[in-house]
Structure 1
Amino acid sequence: MQSIFLFFGALSALIGVGMGAFGAHGLKNAISPEMLTVYQTGVSYQMWHALGLLGVALIRRHDPESKLLTWAGWLMLVGIVLFSGSLYLLAMMDLKQLGMITPFGGVSFLIAWLLLAVYAARKPQARRYS
């Protein structure tokens, strides 16, 4: 699938908006303010990285064979699942042990952005695409 990261970016944004609305309306009085903040952090990072996935998808249209871009996209997706997913479950189910998973998602995000920066640094000046 040529536009796999476009698909996952759009799907992640859809889910992020839904999770944000659920948190604002469904969880507001159901969980503590501290856990609601944890939940909102998951939503925020999911939305930023959904946009990151869309960016990777757009860049890959000009360089579909780039391994750096492919790895960056997959790591962003893994980061969303591990980081945001663990925060959602931690907040809603009060499963403190899930806090051990969250940093792996954060590291996935960091490596994804690093790979994107390395890709940008290695590419020659922007070319005009017609």
Structure 2
Amino acid sequence: MGTIFMAQLMGALYGLLAVIFGAFGAHALKRKLTPELLQSFETGVKYQMYHAIVLLVLAFNLNFDRPLDSAIVNCFIFGTLLFSFSIYALCWGAAKGNKPRFLGPVTPIGGLLLVMGWALLLYSFVSNLI
């Protein structure tokens, strides 16, 4: 699959799921999670929606003629997956009384990928000026 299609597909999917998970968190999980866990869950939803929008904007604005463009999109896709979805799993596990410890290190790896995506995007803009 092409990079533009993947960015469009994943941006739309992440946006759709962010709305669903946001509603699920606001209604169904509000009674099951502590305020701290609910705030963590909402952070996952926010970051997922932010990066869904970024993926869609990139898909319609980048030429995707450089490997750097694909690296940016991949960082955002996999970073969002690891960051937000590990938060969801940790919160849901804690609500069930079972905190999956193996997911603890996954969240910061996802966050690092998101930071790398933003850094590469900045680099792509600055490199055009040099």
Question: Is TM more than 0.5 here?
Answer: yes
**Which amino acid in structure 1 is aligned with residue 116 of structure 2?**
I
TM-score normalized by structure 2?
0.88
Alignment partner of 1:122 out of 107, 124, 127: 127
The two structures, once aligned, show a CA RMSD in angstroms of 1.5
Per the TM alignment, residue 123 of structure 1 is displaced from its structure 2 partner at its CA by: 2.0
Counterpart residue number, 1:75: 75
**Take 1:6 and 1:28, find their aligned partners in 2: how far apart are those partners?**
31
Q: Secondary structure at the match of 1:30?
A: coil
Q: Give the structure 1 partner of residue 52 of structure 2.
A: 50
**Percent identical:** 36
| SS of corresponding position for 2:64 | coil
Listed as ranges, the gaps of 5+ residues in structure 2 are none
- Contact conserved, 1:8 with 1:53, CA < 8 A, in 2? yes
Give the C-alpha shift of residue 55 in structure 1.
1.9
Q: Which amino acid aligns with 2:117?
A: A
SS at the partner of 2:30?
coil
Runs of 4+ in 1 over 2 A off after TM superposition: none
TM-score (norm 1): 0.88
**Gaps in structure 1 of 5+ consecutive residues:** 125-130
Q: Distance in 2 between matches of 1:123 and 1:86?
A: 35
- Amino acid paired to 1:74: N
Given candidates 11, 22, 30, the residue that maps to 2:24 is 22
**Could you say which residue in structure 2 is the equivalent of 1:105?**
110
The Cα offsets for residues 11-60 of structure 1, whole Å up to 9 and x where unpaired, read as 11001110000000110001111111110010011011111111221222
1:87 is the counterpart of 2:95: no
- Aligned equivalent of 1:66: 66
> Number of aligned pairs?
123
